[in-house]
């Protein structure tokens, strides 16, 4: 079984000038945790070079929050996967609910980004999850199956093995609400089954993260579930102490 992955999505927070102090604290606080888990931080674009330098020669990995599907061109304000690779970035979050529901990215666009990231041999974290009205309408399984089919359905097994999935119920992101460990496990079990249809026994090697108001108080119970292979942390990742505590809560 793969090691748990504890990933922090800083979103549009923490300026480049704040990265050095953050990194120093996280490396100190998480010194023991990184012996048993993989630790990843995803700063905003301007902070990436400083984060790479600050975490150089440490176990903490650095990723990006998004990328454009094209390699280059007249796309003002966009950043390509090749540019990220040139910096030294391998990990990238794709399909986050805020990209879907705030910026209007649909499954077709997310698939294009995913295919490009895999073509460039990056390590994408693909986010899926349902809205509150979809959950209340009993449509969670329908939504997850659709998102899986439209973004992962045509990928080859070797490509599926390179990515990480993240289940993020949209109603739990930044709201303080969190899916119960049992509810999260149900969704993860469904996604694991979909992976198994394509990968057979190798489905266990693809990590599925949970994201949605993860904090030190609930991380241990979430990470103890059979099909939860890590967490994608938003607000709590902005505090090195909280983020390190989440990492430390992962079972050995």
Q: Which residue has the tokens 């000038």?
A: 17
DSSP string, 15-73: -HHHHHHHHHHHHHHTTTGGGTSEEEEE--GGGHHHHHHHTTTSS-EEEES--BSSSSS
Distance CA 206, CA 229 (A): 9
Distance CA 144, CA 229 (A): 18
Quick check: is 119 catalytic? no
Question: What would the two tokens of residue 83 be?
Answer: 């540019």
Q: Rounded to the nearest 10 degrees, what angle do helices 181-199 and 140-152 cross at? A: 40
Instruction: Please tell me which residue in 68, 105, 168, 188 is annotated as part of the active site.
Output: 168
Distance CA 17, CA 50 (A): 9
Cα 9–Cα 124–Cα 203 angle in degrees, nearest 5? 115
Instruction: Please tell me which residue in 68, 96, 130, 188 is annotated as part of the active site.
Output: 96
Sort strands 61-64 and 91-94 into parallel, antiparallel or unpaired.
Answer: parallel
Quick check: is 96 catalytic? yes
Q: Which residue has the tokens 């209007």?
A: 104
Backbone dihedral angles phi then psi of residue 78, each to the nearest 5 degrees: -95, 160
Active-site positions?
A: 96, 168
């Amino acid at each position: 079984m793969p090691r748990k992955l504890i990933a922090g999505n800083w979103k549009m927070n923490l300026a480049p000038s704040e990265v050095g102090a953050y990194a120093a604290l996280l490396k100190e606080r998480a010194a023991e945790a990184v012996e048993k888990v993989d630790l990843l931080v995803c700063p905003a674009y301007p902070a990436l070079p400083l984060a790479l330098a600050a975490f150089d020669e440490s176990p903490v990995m650095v990723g990006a929050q998004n990328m454009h599907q094209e390699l280059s061109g007249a796309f003002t304000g966009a950043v390509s996967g090749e540019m990220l690779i040139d910096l030294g970035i391998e990990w990238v979050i794709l399909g986050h609910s805020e990209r879907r529901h705030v910026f209007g990215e649909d499954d077709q666009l997310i698939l294009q980004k995913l295919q490009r990231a895999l073509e460039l041999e990056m390590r994408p974290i693909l986010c899926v999850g349902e809205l509150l009205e979809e959950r209340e309408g009993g449509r969670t399984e329908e939504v997850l199956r659709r998102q899986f089919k439209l973004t992962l359905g045509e990928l080859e097994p070797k490509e599926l093995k390179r990515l990480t999935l993240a289940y993020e119920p949209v109603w739990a992101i930044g709201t303080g609400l969190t899916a119960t460990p049992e509810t999260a496990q149900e969704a993860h079990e469904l996604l694991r089954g979909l992976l198994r249809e394509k990968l057979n026994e190798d489905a266990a090697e693809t990590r599925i993260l949970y994201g949605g108001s993860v904090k030190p108080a609930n991380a241990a119970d979430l990470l103890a579930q059979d099909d939860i292979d890590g967490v994608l942390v938003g607000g709590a990742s902005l505090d090195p102490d909280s983020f390190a505590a989440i990492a430390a809560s992962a079972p050995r």
